[in-house]
Structure 1
Amino acid sequence: MHSDVLIVGAGPAGLSLSIALAQAGFTSTVLDQQPGAALAAPAPDGREIALTHPSVALLQRLGSWQGLAAHEVGRLHDAQVHDGPVRPQAGMVLHAGGSGVDHLGWIVPNHALRRTAYAVAARTPGVRILSGAQVTRVAVQPDRAEVDYTQNGAPGERLTAPLVVAADSRFSGMRRQLGMGAAMTDFGRTVIVCRMRHQAPHGGTAHECFGYDRTLAILPLPGDPEGHATLPHLCSAVVTADSADAAALLALSPEDFTARVAAQFQHRLGAMQLMGERHAYPLVAVYAQRFTGPRCALVGDAAVGMHPVTAHGYNLGLAGVERLARTLADARAQGRDVGDAAALAQYARAHHRHAWPIYQGTNAIVRLYTDARPLPRLLRQVVLAGASRLPPLKAAIVSQLTGRRPAWPTPLP
């Protein structure tokens, strides 16, 4: 055996798992087809990740949180949900009151999380990273898992371990080779993400604006480290539209695109300016039919790929990393084979109980808030009004956003 665990995919989930396993006394080999330079210094991809309190606590224990620069860490103080045209009074306002914390969570660029995860994994004893490694075959035998790969044009090699873990995206080729199917929901829409400078302060407030044709999210970011005389503040703009509309938006000049976003947001942030590139991603949600099997497991997006509207995807992936590492540590403490299907089933059951309601609830929200018919519009208004007027329901929503249970019986204002 070359290590205790083989991990295919050096994204945040795979790298975080390797660090967690090392802290638990396991050795791991991480394979990724990207070159080492791209893993060590990932290019910005436009995505900003909202993190819950438990997720940040895990990243701190892993050591990757400490590698983030001050200008890469922003705080989400509250969130406003708007149905239809943006109005001065939001349909629902969410804040951390009653949850035991003073803010909803944090927001960090995706590329910064990838960079710090790689930096920690690369210097962690017991973690071996093979960059530029193209996996050609994965198979499980009664006594081992096997991964064949080529690297930088060299002859193919084979690695063996008691367990192999797929962490190679929601369109996982590893998952397919392991014979694990997945249910995919193609929303037929595209999300465009970009950064914008703006004039008025955002106050740490996130906005989710469910338009009838387009959905717009405005996420507060830390101030521009380079400074700007007239537009000193930064936000992330996330526009979701059908594919044809998204193509038209991407074809606009930076000035015209900015004008569209500013107009949909009713110019609440004053003058705005596009900063950098626009990035587009198709919206496809994925839920694997199984999370584990004999000598194999799935983590991160390979297990569950979420729609980003409720900001659960990354947090769910980190929860899976922590859960799988704990399951393997428990198995070893009991003298069990970490690749045994029965031992891995504990992780699969727990992660399914956690992920399934969040996945289905998120998809239901997406369908409800992108349907322009009269009845769904009325239902949206009823849902928002009910959540705003029922403190227990509102507290339950906040507990999902923060990752913490509400501090009962403290009333919400």
Structure 2
Amino acid sequence: MTRNDDSSLNCDVLIVGGGPAGLSLAASLGQAGLSATLLELQGQEQLADPAPDGREIALTHPSAALLQRLGSWQLLQAHEVGLLRAAEVHDGPVGRSRALHLHSGGSGVEHLGWIVPNHALRRTAWQVASDMPGVRLLTGARVQRVATHASHAEVEYRDAAQPDAPVQTLRAPLVVAADSRFSAARRQLGIGAAMTDFGRTVIVCRMRCELAHDQVAHECFDYDRTLAILPLPDDVADGAPLCSAVITADSAQAQALLALAPEDFAASVAAQFDHRLGHMQLHGQRHAYPLVAVYAHRFSGPRCALLGDAAVGMHPVTAHGFNLGLAGVASLSAALADARARGLDIGAPEVLQRYARAQHLQAWPIFQGTNAIVRLYTDTRALPRLARRAVLGAAMRLPPLQAAIVSQLTGRRPAWPVRPAPGGR
């Protein structure tokens, strides 16, 4: 099928959702010479200077390389980029048994990755996309309808600040849904998703620490709740060590933790971490998020594709959610640029299936492996406890298994074998 040259089309690609994945896609398409229009409900001020939301994103080496190519990495401030040199996995109460130590030795890189605040990634993605030729950003746009036709895709929207404003219609050869794991655009496109509600809540916050963290992350699988400690750059105000605490608990526990006074909350986190970082203080606000994992039934359809959390919404335990989104940005951009260079219709099924297959092959094993880890390490029964000890023991004794885990953390090597993609992915 040849490219669509219909003059009634507004651009090459319509993108619904102005998160960091959608904005990065818009910038990547602009770099490739394609035009994109992105629609986002939030206003320009919120996107240009997003408020901290507590989330710290672990970035792999391929993700950092893509952000460097887009130019958003260079816009991050020095105190927003932290190194992740090593990681430790603890089974049961911290200090009760030997931890699994993971490092980058032998992987060809000097460290596992980087830690960057989510709001900084959003801000820099906006900066790059808003300055990219061929990219149009429509903020304060409330999307009313997303649909596809044989010749084009359509998005109807109105000005969110003016409920009585007339509905506007945009048309393009392709529409991309990138509007969260609970994507309304995905549903309007007729694509379902498998959702796993873990019945748990994630609390994220920053903590001031008495002792240095040495740029080591910790994943602590206690029997009542899990705790992740992520190393952050030192406080710019006074040089105090900072870390991010990520607590996963059932709803009742989460509400109880959120109700604690700041000093009592900090003491609870420090105690669960066996006071490894000494006295801790809450630094800023606590943020809570429901824990729901999502995997779309298809990543593409007639003149449409899914990206970011709209395609795959990950449990945060393996820190791969945004990395998968950036992998999708790279894969979809490459597929569309190649199609355009060959004179093909960028919304043709064969073009989009190339992206869908590549993204599924990368996402499926990570998604299933993450959910398996969560099920195993949040089950407090005796047999699962024995199984998780056996898994960690095997990883400690088998260097190839450690290397496989490190390869996933760094993003330097492909994942383990995956089942074939079902039709339409």
**How would you bin the TM-score normalised by the shorter chain?**
over 0.9
Q: Is residue 220 from structure 1 mapped to residue 231 from structure 2 by the alignment?
A: yes
Q: Is residue 206 from structure 1 mapped to residue 217 from structure 2 by the alignment?
A: yes
1:385 match: 393
What are the residue-to-residue correspondences of 1:6-45 with 2, within 5 Å? Answer: 6-45=14-53
Q: For 1:98, what is the secondary structure of its paired residue?
A: coil
1:244 match: 252
Query: 1:185-229 CA distances to partner (integer Å, 9 max, x unpaired)?
Result: 00000000000001100000000000111000000000001116x
* Runs of at least 5 residues in structure 2 that lack an aligned partner in the other structure: 1-8, 415-425
Q: Is 1:80–1:90's contact at 8 Å kept on the other side of the alignment?
A: no
Q: Is 1:99–1:405's contact at 8 Å kept on the other side of the alignment?
A: no
Q: Is residue 177 from structure 1 mapped to residue 188 from structure 2 by the alignment?
A: yes
1:264 match: 272
1:164 match: 175
Query: 1:391-410 CA distances to partner (integer Å, 9 max, x unpaired)?
Result: 1111010000001139xxxx
Q: Structure 1 pair 227/89, CA: closer, same or farther in 2 (3 Å)?
A: farther
Q: Is residue 313 from structure 1 mapped to residue 324 from structure 2 by the alignment?
A: no
Cα drift, residue 261 of structure 1: 0.4
Q: Is residue 356 from structure 1 mapped to residue 364 from structure 2 by the alignment?
A: yes
- After superposing the two structures, state which structure 1 stretch, 148-157 or 72-81, moved more: 148-157
Q: For 1:213, what is the secondary structure of its paired residue?
A: coil
CA distance in 1, matches of 2:245, 2:284: 12
2:199 to 188, 202, 214: 188
CA distance in 2, matches of 1:246, 1:196: 17
Runs of 4+ in 1 over 6 A off after TM superposition: none
1:117 match: 125
1:410 match: none
Q: CA RMSD in A?
A: 1.0
1:79 match: 87
Q: Is 1:19–1:124's contact at 8 Å kept on the other side of the alignment?
A: yes
Q: For 2:214, what is the secondary structure of its paired residue?
A: coil
Aligned-partner residue type, residue 383 of structure 1: V
Cα drift, residue 332 of structure 1: 1.3
Cα drift, residue 50 of structure 1: 0.1
Query: 1:290-339 CA distances to partner (integer Å, 9 max, x unpaired)?
Result: 00001100000000000000001010110011000001111112221001
CA distance in 1, matches of 2:99, 2:285: 31
Q: Is residue 67 from structure 1 mapped to residue 75 from structure 2 by the alignment?
A: yes
Aligned-partner residue type, residue 200 of structure 1: L
Q: Is 2:202–2:289's contact at 8 Å kept on the other side of the alignment?
A: yes
Cα drift, residue 89 of structure 1: 6.0
1:2 match: 10
Q: Is residue 322 from structure 1 mapped to residue 335 from structure 2 by the alignment?
A: no
Cα drift, residue 90 of structure 1: 3.8
CA distance in 2, matches of 1:312, 1:53: 12
Cα drift, residue 271 of structure 1: 1.1
Query: 1:79-116 CA distances to partner (integer Å, 9 max, x unpaired)?
Result: 00000010176421000011001100000000000000
Count of aligned positions: 403
CA distance in 1, matches of 2:389, 2:96: 16
Q: For 1:376, what is the secondary structure of its paired residue?
A: helix
CA distance in 2, matches of 1:28, 1:346: 20
CA distance in 1, matches of 2:388, 2:298: 33
Q: Structure 1 pair 113/240, CA: closer, same or farther in 2 (3 Å)?
A: same
CA distance in 2, matches of 1:3, 1:208: 45
CA distance in 2, matches of 1:349, 1:206: 32
CA distance in 1, matches of 2:60, 2:54: 20
Cα drift, residue 343 of structure 1: 1.4
Q: Is 2:91–2:97's contact at 8 Å kept on the other side of the alignment?
A: no
2:309 to 301, 308, 312: 301
Q: Is residue 376 from structure 1 mapped to residue 387 from structure 2 by the alignment?
A: no
Q: Is residue 49 from structure 1 mapped to residue 57 from structure 2 by the alignment?
A: yes
2:288 match: 280
CA distance in 2, matches of 1:297, 1:335: 20
Q: Is residue 150 from structure 1 mapped to residue 161 from structure 2 by the alignment?
A: no
CA distance in 2, matches of 1:248, 1:330: 53
1:398 match: 406
What are the residue-to-residue correspondences of 1:328-339 with 2, within 5 Å? Answer: 328-339=336-347
2:99 match: 91
Aligned-partner residue type, residue 203 of structure 1: D
CA distance in 2, matches of 1:88, 1:69: 39
TM-score normalized by the length of structure 2? 0.94
Q: For 2:288, what is the secondary structure of its paired residue?
A: strand
CA distance in 2, matches of 1:383, 1:89: 14
Q: Structure 1 pair 269/88, CA: closer, same or farther in 2 (3 Å)?
A: farther
2:420 match: none
TM-score normalized by the length of structure 1? 0.96
